[in-house]
A and B are shown apart, each in its own frame.
Chain A
Amino acid sequence: MPTSVEDLINPGVDDVIADSKLHGNIDPAQDQTMVLNMGPQHPSTHGVLRVVLEVDGESVVALAPDIGYLHTGIEKTCEAKFYQQVVPLTDRIDYLCPMTNNLTYCLAVEKLLQLEIPERAQYLRVLLNELTRLNSHLVWLGTHAMDIGALTVFLYCFREREEILRIFEMVAGQRMMTSYFRIGGLSMEPPIDFYDRVRNFLKIMPEKIAEYENLLTGNPIWMGRLKDVGHLSAADAIALGVTGPPLRASGVDWDLRRDMPYSGYEKFKFDVPVSQVGDVWARYEVRMKEMYESVKIATQALEGLPDGRITADAPKIILPDREQMKTQMESLIHHFKIVTEGFAVPAGQVYQGVESPRGEMGYFVVSDGTAKPFRVHMRNPSFATLQALETMCKGRLLADVVAVIGSIDIVLGEIDR
């Protein structure tokens, strides 16, 4: 068990290539290894991840992930926008959980503003966040299964994901880049038929998860590919900053929703699935169980949804109703002011962490008292989890690398920002 951080520092791409030259003897007959470049265009690196591998036949001697192919400068862009204009940018970080990113950013800024969010908005936020988790886990399951070679599960997962995206479209008008949350609440009331649609979906969802499990869980080939592959010990996981399902699969019982509740999560009853094994199979099991828990939380949020406002009572921060804006002078002034010069946020700095489908998603926002953030930094779960790739894959076969990349469920947009 490596205890010092030095042991866990990953080699870079250059190190792997240089190492390969060291391992390779000058005599070609003695040269046993070759450098294999996986990505950035590769079917199973989930976007534009590049992994440089030193392989001896089929087994991996060393590997280094290379990131930055999807760098879009979102953090820097945030500094040029008003606080409310940053929300659409947060969608683009992670195309699989836009709602979670919206929420994290809004919570962080609301902390600075010390806004009181009405309970109805909190419940809706929780509901949509759990739907987002289901959405993200469905894509994970589909692509993970496809990497292992089970093609059909992907289409089944996307069938249910489609329904989630339609629900998102209902509330936000957008399927993926929702930007539905606002600083201080939500952008608008959900339409009337939203509730029935979500209720129906949550009713059938447990059956569907059982259907996926039916296709995969007992399958000997699936078990053979996942069990005893890509071990990550609890100590390594903590040292590398791994969070979320991979951390819980390594036996650390840590879930921000329960341990550091936000947005009213303390009012919901749910279990946190934990596994002690720490291999790819454990991560699969933990995520599958999490999907059932998400359905539970979303059902509680839907059934217990209180009446009331969906925005905080802060007219200088929240855009007024269209109706009011056209009839009341004061509202028109507020509207004009917010749109043209934003709203000032008290100076200070704040960190807000949220349990995203991939782990701890955190926003660190620094305000200098103006209407634009001085600095927005995102702490992304995929970035930390990707660090563990080398620890999990070293000495394994090439096919295991694919299984491990699938199991850590990374989104490159989130890593590169």
Chain B
Amino acid sequence: MHLSDFQLFVLITIIKIAVVLVITLTAVAYTVLLERKVIGRIQNRWGPSRVGPFGLLQPLADGIKLFLKEDLMPMSVERPLFVAAPVIALACALVSVAVVPFGQTFKIRGVDIFEVSNVNIGLLVILGITSIGVYGIALSGWSSNNKYSLMGSLRASSQVISYELALGLSLVGVVLRAGSLNLRDIVNSQIGHGFLSWNFFGGLQFVGFFIYIMAAYAETNRAPFDLPEAESELVAGYHTEYSSMKFAMFFMAEYANMLTVSCVATLLFFGGASSPFEGWIPAFGPTWLQAILPIFWFVAKVFSFLFLYIWVRATLPRFRYDQLMSFGWKFLLPLAMANILATSLVMALRS
């Protein structure tokens, strides 16, 4: 059977989507395990260790448990929105992975296999889709008809909208340097002198990076900005009324967002899939190794960001609502603007 180029493109894309989806969901499940393990060790205990060797089958057990739980729906909820909210949250969290290049360009019959789709405004796509994810949270809080959920979702909405500004502006420095919004181009602009040409080191974007990482923590509602689900104040925040798979979808969305944010940090500030010794050590080994090795570097970088996430959660207390807002508007936003100004000045002087 002979396939036309278009048929082949469709086929490979579907396979890519399936593979990436499965890998992402597995990664999400194991991020949860990683979090429980790491926090366990930080807190002087073991973490999950009963299901499978080293607790490695724990995510499976959790999944089965959540599937089999009774799906409760209170009488007074707004049914269509109540059901739609977790779907929106999870879908948005998963879609943004589509534009992330996992490895270096590696084409089979003209189709790049290490990226689901190469969009020329990839960065904007990610920012846009993560913003849509707020609808999931906002709607869940409103449709639950629960005061705690409502307050949680209000906090989440205002927090995400406020920190989106700082988040977007912190990336402008990188975009200025690369001169493109295409994630592949941004990664390629950081290749040449090993880790020294990464935006974080060589590009002097460390201020941008720290703004990004703080805004990203707030954007994903993680500690120390986990006010929307602040257990000690709002019980469980916006997902108080959710159970079974609907709860699991919010849960997965949170961790998928963490993955996306870590991927973006890797791509924009730490050279994406490029090795820290790129350009210093000549390429070696067979072709398949050269194709796989960048993926290793990518995963390693993402992993270290996830680790940082978890470390921060185990260490820091939570902000108060007004402090969170003033931190975002009075500190991060001006700093991000100053960073843009400084970056463009340096670039103008250099050219």
Q: A-side interface residues toward B, CB under 8 Å?
A: 34, 36-37, 42-44, 58, 145-152, 154-156, 159, 215-216, 219, 221-222, 224-225, 397-400, 402
Contact = CB atoms under 8 A, between A and B. Distances in A.
Contacts of B148: 36
A149 B223 contact: yes
A156 B319 contact: no
12 contacts: A37-B147, A44-B232, A58-B321, A149-B232, A151-B313, A156-B43, A215-B315, A216-B317, A219-B317, A225-B318, A397-B321, A399-B233
A148 B227 CA distance: 11
B124 to A, nearest CB: 32
B4 interface: no
Nearest to B223: A149
Contacts of B233: 44, 398-399, 402
Given A43-B232, A44-B232, A150 B320 contact: no
Interface string B229-255: 011110100000000000000000000
Contacts of A398: 151, 233, 321
A222 B323 CA distance: 12
B91 to A, nearest CB: 29
Contact of A152 (B43, B147, B319, B320): B43
B112 interface: no
B45 interface: yes
Nearest to A145: B317
B44 A149 contact: no
B335 to A, nearest CB: 16
Contacts of A155: 43-45
B70 interface: no
B314 interface: yes
A159 B44 contact: yes
A150 B312 CA distance: 10
Given A43-B231, A146-B232, A225-B319, 7 more contacts: A58-B321, A149-B232, A155-B43, A221-B316, A397-B322, A399-B230, A399-B233
Contacts of B313: 151
B226 interface: yes
Contact of B317 (A44, A156, A159, A222): A222
Interface string B322-335: 11000000000000
Given A42-B235, A221-B319, A400-B320, A149 B224 contact: yes
Contacts of B231: 43-44
Interface in B280-335: 313-323
Contacts of B319: 221, 224-225
Interface string B8-48: 00000000000000000000000000000001001111000
Contacts of B235: 42-43
A151 B227 CA distance: 14
Interface of B: 39, 42-45, 147-148, 151, 223-224, 226-227, 230-233, 235, 313-323
Nearest to A215: B315
Nearest to A44: B232
A398 B235 CA distance: 13
A397 B226 CA distance: 16
Nearest to B315: A152
A145 B39 CA distance: 16
A165 B39 CA distance: 25
A221 B224 contact: yes
B46 to A, nearest CB: 12
B36 to A, nearest CB: 12
Contacts of B321: 58, 397-399
Contacts of A145: 317
Nearest to B154: A57
Contacts of A44: 231-233
B241 to A, nearest CB: 15
A43 B227 CA distance: 14
A152 B232 contact: no
Nearest to A37: B147
Of B230, B314, B317, most A-chain CB atoms within 10 Å: B317
Contacts of B39: 151-152
A151 B320 contact: no
Nearest to A226: B317
Contacts of A224: 319-320, 323
Given A43-B235, A402-B233, A148 B317 contact: yes
Contacts of B226: 149
Nearest to B231: A43
A42 B240 CA distance: 12
Contacts of A154: 43
Contacts of A219: 316-317
Contacts of A159: 44
Contact of B314 (A151, A221, A402): A151
Contacts of A150: 315-318
B147 A34 contact: yes
Given A34-B147, A222-B317, A149 B230 contact: yes
A240 B42 CA distance: 42
Q: Which 7 A-B pairs have the closest CB atoms?
A: A149-B318, A44-B232, A155-B43, A150-B317, A147-B232, A149-B317, A148-B317
B47 to A, nearest CB: 12
B224 A152 contact: no
A90 to B, nearest CB: 30
Contacts of A43: 231-232, 235
Contacts of A215: 315
Contacts of A402: 232-233
B316 A149 contact: yes
A42 B233 CA distance: 8
Contacts of B227: 399
B44 A221 contact: no
A165 to B, nearest CB: 16
Contacts of B314: 151-152
Nearest to B321: A58
A154 B233 CA distance: 17
A155 B315 CA distance: 12
Given A148-B318, A398-B233, A58 B224 contact: no
Contacts of A42: 235
Nearest to B40: A155
A43 B318 CA distance: 15
B319 to A, nearest CB: 6
A368 to B, nearest CB: 47
Contacts of B316: 149-150, 219, 221
Nearest to A401: B233
A194 B45 CA distance: 27
A145 B231 CA distance: 13
Contacts of A222: 317
